[in-house]
Amino acid sequence: MAPNTADERERPPEIGVAFDAVVVGAGFAGLYMLYRLRGLGLTARIYEAGGGVGGTWYWNRYPGARCDVESMQYSFSFSEELDQQWDWSEKYAPQPEILAYANHIADRFDLRQNIVFNTRVTAATFDETAKCWRVETDRGDRVTARFCIMAIGCLSATNHPPFRDRESFRGPIYHTGEWPHEGVNFAGLRVGVVGTGSSAIQSIPIIAQQASALTVFQRTATYSVPAWNEKLSPEYRRAIKADYPALRAKARARPTGFYFPFNMQPALEATPEERERQYEEAWKRGGLPFLGAYGDLLFDKAANDTIADFARRKIRGIVRNPATADLLCPDNVFGCKRLCVDTGYFETYNLPHVKLVDVSKTPIERFTAQGIEVNGTEYELDAIVCATGFAAMTGSFEKIRIAGRNGLTLAEKWQAGPRAYLGVASAGFPNLFTITGPGSPSVLASMIQAIEQHVDWMADCIAHMRDIGAATVEPVEKYEDEWIEHVNEVSKVSLRSTCSSWYVGANIPGRPRVFMPYIGGFPVYVQKCNEVMSNGFEGFVMDGANAKNEHPRVRLTERWRVPLDIEVISPAAVAARRVPVV
Ligand code: FAD
Ligand code: NAP
């Protein structure tokens, strides 16, 4: 791996430099955007708050961190050579391997020369006269850019609940999303984990192996499906690589942006015995595809009850203490909160030194010098792990002062919930793009595919602007409003809108309750983006053009033209079909 650019901690600030584009963030989104901008011959700078590339995989180094979309699909698809040359070692690659992949991308495509690390963008202000963005960082940089591209991540702003007397705890407090690079040795320690979402579920079994005692503080019980992770054999990899483009194409046609066998039959049309067999088989395959056991599980509560009941019986079959098993059984809609994928999570509660504390009715009262107090009981701990998640989708936007036309800030505009046309741009903020922004499939799809589709679309948009000599691009408010209405309407059709998840901002008190990602399905969304483009970026104003804004040349977006098979892409399409795509 090449070193990062010269010693950034000592570097002088960049003052007055004019870039074609500034990209904020060097996760997968920022890296691919930079690659495409360079391909267009544009000058670009990435500012990245972290000390290296990889984003999520740079920050989330907690024990057990790994992807839960199969690695051979949770990877870039834009380069066939890369697909052929990179070998994933496991079905679900561990964090160090995904981070190594991100570093490989940076080196292979020679991206580091345009990235500055350890630098947080603090402000971006649109200069209406010069028609450019003035970008400021916490390192004193003051640069301009025609385009400002937010690649700041949907799950990158960590959530630190304001636990009373937090600072009084004598031991270390860790957050899974800000894990120390040198690792943590919990051997012989009494450890407390707050939270039971995906990060907790991955880390708890491993922390339990090290700690002398483990206490888990659970506010909401979580559904989790076994990963059945395994090493990938050379034969398996060879078989996929023999026709990788076909797998990628099949993935693009799926609502989730990744491929797995999906049974379209409604659950309630099957007999109880058939359902049991089907769920058993899906459980044996494991992982997120478990939700593909039937076509209506996220749309029909009675159907959902059957899978929820099956999952609860699995928990009761694994966890020996009936009271603990009861506590671990969720009572909400299956798959409403993000489904978790685990290795030995429920089994961990059979270990004699692992304890579960219910904080659903009596919340964590306070941190003490010795530990955590709940309902008058003090649990003594040597270290605390907060697996408390993120201010999802909008949290990293809130940390940057983004001011558009007439000084309106994005925070002001998004006060009652985020507003962006197709999730790619927001009216009043010309030439500001938001990769996997709210209102796009983003976190409901395999995110690398969602990132690639957005970046390709944005790069084609920028290239078209150059073709016609346009200075700025910006959504028309009416189109943006209609899109947001559509996003909201479609979300209501899905049971996913019914619980207090981070999808609706409800994991953090005080946030507006709005279903933020687009649930109509990846291919439905992609088709809409393609139509917008082929209709001359319909719903966007391109200012200052010296040629007619028609028949844009489709460059990169071509590979996202997939046939829309409404039957295969259900259940997301069911929602979009009932609520027509605007
Ligand atoms: P990120 O990777 O979040 O990168 C954003 C970068 O922007 C960060 O490095 C951040 O430091 C930087 N940044 C933010 N604000 C600023 C600022 N103001 N100035 C400078 N830099 C800034 N998705 C899947 O599809 N499948 C999975 O299996 C999966 N597993 C996950 C596991 C974990 C533990 C987590 C937390 C998320 C997971 N995700 C998964 C979602 C994951 O976030 C995406 O897959 C993907 O990595 C996001 O890439 P990104 O570049 O958009 O954002
Ligand atoms: P999360 O799913 O939001 O879980 C946070 C946990 O902390 C929840 O159990 C939450 O309870 C709890 N919590 C928050 N505030 C609390 C408080 N004040 N008191 C007690 N408990 C509190 O966050 P995450 O686990 O980091 O995962 C976030 C997302 O990242 C995932 O949904 C997934 O998309 C992605 N991810 C994926 C993987 C993977 O397997 N590849 C791994 C990690 C993360 P409530 O449920 O009651 O709010």
pLDDT in tens, 475-502: 999 999 999 999 998 898 889 989 899 9
pLDDT in tens, 438-460: 999 999 999 999 999 999 999 99
pLDDT for residue 551? 85
pLDDT for residue 295? 87
For residue 8, pLDDT over 80 is answered with no
Q: Which ligand neighbours the alpha carbon of 437 most closely?
A: 1
- C-alpha span between 29 and 374 (Å, rounded): 41
pLDDT for residue 571? 54
- C-alpha span between 541 and 556 (Å, rounded): 21
Q: Helix 28-39 vs helix 447-468: angle between axes, to the nearest 10 degrees?
A: 30
Ligand 1 atom nearest 447 alpha carbon: 25
The residue nearest atom 38 of ligand 2, judged by CA position, is 198
Mean local confidence (pLDDT), 179-189 = 98
For residue 3, pLDDT over 50 is answered with no
Pick from 2, 90, 15, 92: nearest CA to 53? 2
Mutation to probe ligand 1, out of 47, 56, 118, 454 (largest number of atoms < 8 A from CB): 56
Does the pTM of the predicted model rise above 0.95?
yes
Whether omega for the bond prior to residue 172 falls within 30 degrees of 0, making it cis, is: no
- C-alpha span between 16 and 91 (Å, rounded): 47
- Output the six-digit token pair for 278: 């089907």
For residue 315, pLDDT over 50 is answered with yes
- C-alpha span between 412 and 398 (Å, rounded): 10
Alpha helices in 121-225 (DSSP H): 198-210
For 151, residues 6+ apart whose C-beta sits below 8 A from its C-beta are 23, 24, 25, 26, 27, 29, 30, 33, 46, 435
Ligand 1 center–CA 56 separation, angstroms? 4
- Output the six-digit token pair for 540: 């966007």
CB distance 25 to 150 below 8 Å: yes
For residue 262, pLDDT over 90 is answered with no
Mean local confidence (pLDDT), 31-47 = 98
pLDDT for residue 261? 86
- C-alpha span between 508 and 122 (Å, rounded): 23
The residue nearest atom 28 of ligand 2, judged by CA position, is 389
371-374 and 364-367 as β-strands: parallel, antiparallel, unpaired?
A: antiparallel
44-47 and 15-24 as β-strands: parallel, antiparallel, unpaired?
A: parallel
Q: What is the mean pLDDT of the chain?
A: 94
Q: How long, in residues, is the chain?
A: 582
For residue 1, pLDDT over 60 is answered with no
Residues with CB under 6 A from ligand 1: 24-30, 47-50, 55-56, 58, 60, 65, 67-69, 74, 120-121, 151-156, 199, 396, 399-400, 436, 446-447, 451
For residue 6, pLDDT over 50 is answered with no
For residue 354, pLDDT over 50 is answered with yes
Name the pLDDT band for 573 (thresholds 50, 70, 90): low
The residue nearest atom 16 of ligand 2, judged by CA position, is 388
Question: Could you report how far apart the first and last alpha carbons of the chain are, in Å?
Answer: 46
CB of 31 closer than 6 A to ligand 2?
Answer: no
What would the 3-class secondary structure string for 493-547 be? HCHHHHCCCHHHCCCCCCCCCCCCCCCCCHHHHHHHHHHHHHCCCCCEEEECCCC
For residue 258, pLDDT over 80 is answered with yes
For 524, residues 6+ apart whose C-beta sits below 8 A from its C-beta are 255, 564, 569, 572, 573, 576, 581
Ligand 1 center–CA 548 separation, angstroms? 38
Ligand 1 center–CA 502 separation, angstroms? 15
- C-alpha span between 217 and 290 (Å, rounded): 27
For residue 565, pLDDT over 80 is answered with no
